[in-house]
Amino acid sequence: MKLGEKIRYLREIEGSLRGLDRDLSQQEMVRALEAETGSKLSQSYLSQIESGARPHLTNTTRQILATFFKVHPGYLVDDPEGYHPELQSELRNVEDKLDLWLVSGAERFRRDPELKHALLTLARHERSRECLLLTEAILDTPGLMPRLAEVLRPKNRDQGSGVRDQGSGVRDQGKTKRRSIARGRKDEALR
């Protein structure tokens, strides 16, 4: 990971930690940094670091940023090509990249709380890659997705989502009874 990516990532995390439900803007970070550390850093300098125009930090700037983000100063450098913080299998490396991508996507969809939550849940799962492959299999199996949606998220039907029986194009008359049975099964499974 490059230094600029690390700083952007830390700003995203910092925004969440501060309860903003979004990343901390560069300007907000500059103001907070000055208020909390007494040190000054310009927004344009921060922008140059994040864009890669300034690939290296002075020791003073590195220490200021490390103090602000509460990370070790050694973290604020480019990682060497192929660097991994621990011994990992190639699959775990793919999984980590996928998880970072999902977290980034969740931040982009922060105005859609359900989608954001779903992406973060997926990113937190130990086998997120397998979850996505399972989703593909569900979508490739004719009729499975609507049946799963009916059982797992029956509230969508209650809100008039317009889900219809694929065969006849009309609402299924027995949906209330099936929903009740499905809820009972789901409740039993959770016990």
Whole-angstrom distance, CA of residue 97 vs CA of residue 80: 16
Query: Are residues 152 and 191 located together in one domain of the fold?
Result: yes
Query: Are residues 105 and 59 located together in one domain of the fold?
Result: no
Render pLDDT for 34-91 as a digit per residue (tens, 0 to 9).
999 999 999 999 999 999 998 889 999 999 999 999 899 888 988 777 665 554 445 4
pLDDT at 33 over 90: yes
Q: Is 21 helix (H, G, I), strand (E, B) or coil?
A: coil
Confidence of residue 168 (pLDDT cuts 50, 70, 90): very low
Beta-carbon count within 10 A of 163 CB: 14
User: Is there a domain that residue 164 lies in?
Assistant: no
Number of domains within the chain? 3
User: Is there a domain that residue 184 lies in?
Assistant: yes
pLDDT at 29 over 90: yes
- From 47, 75, 103, the end of a domain falls on 75
User: Is there a domain that residue 166 lies in?
Assistant: no
Query: Are residues 7 and 69 located together in one domain of the fold?
Result: yes
Please tell me the predicted confidence (pLDDT) of residue 182.
47
In terms of residue numbers, what domain contains 63? 3-75
Query: Are residues 70 and 103 located together in one domain of the fold?
Result: no
Query: Are residues 66 and 105 located together in one domain of the fold?
Result: no
Please tell me the predicted confidence (pLDDT) of residue 94.
66
Please tell me the predicted confidence (pLDDT) of residue 67.
92
Q: Which of 17-26, 55-64, 148-157 has the lowest mean pLDDT?
A: 148-157
Render pLDDT for 125-135 as a digit per residue (tens, 0 to 9).
888 889 889 99
What is the per-residue DSSP string for 105-169? Answer: HHHHTTTSHHHHHHHHHHHHSTTHHHHHHHHHHHHHSTTHHHHHHHHH-THHHHTT-----TTTS
User: Is there a domain that residue 177 lies in?
Assistant: yes
This prediction has a pTM of: 0.45
What percent of the chain clears pLDDT 70, i.e. is strictly above it?
73
Query: Are residues 10 and 59 located together in one domain of the fold?
Result: yes
Query: Are residues 54 and 96 located together in one domain of the fold?
Result: no
Closest CA to 32 of 21, 20, 84, 81: 20
The 3 state secondary structure assigned to 146-159 is: HHHHHHHCCHHHHC
Please tell me the predicted confidence (pLDDT) of residue 47.
94
The domain that holds 63 is classified in CATH as: 1.10.260.40
Q: What is the mean pLDDT of residues 80-107?
A: 69
Query: Are residues 134 and 154 located together in one domain of the fold?
Result: no
User: Is there a domain that residue 70 lies in?
Assistant: yes
User: Is there a domain that residue 51 lies in?
Assistant: yes
Whole-angstrom distance, CA of residue 23 vs CA of residue 128: 23
Query: Are residues 124 and 101 located together in one domain of the fold?
Result: yes
Query: Are residues 150 and 123 located together in one domain of the fold?
Result: no
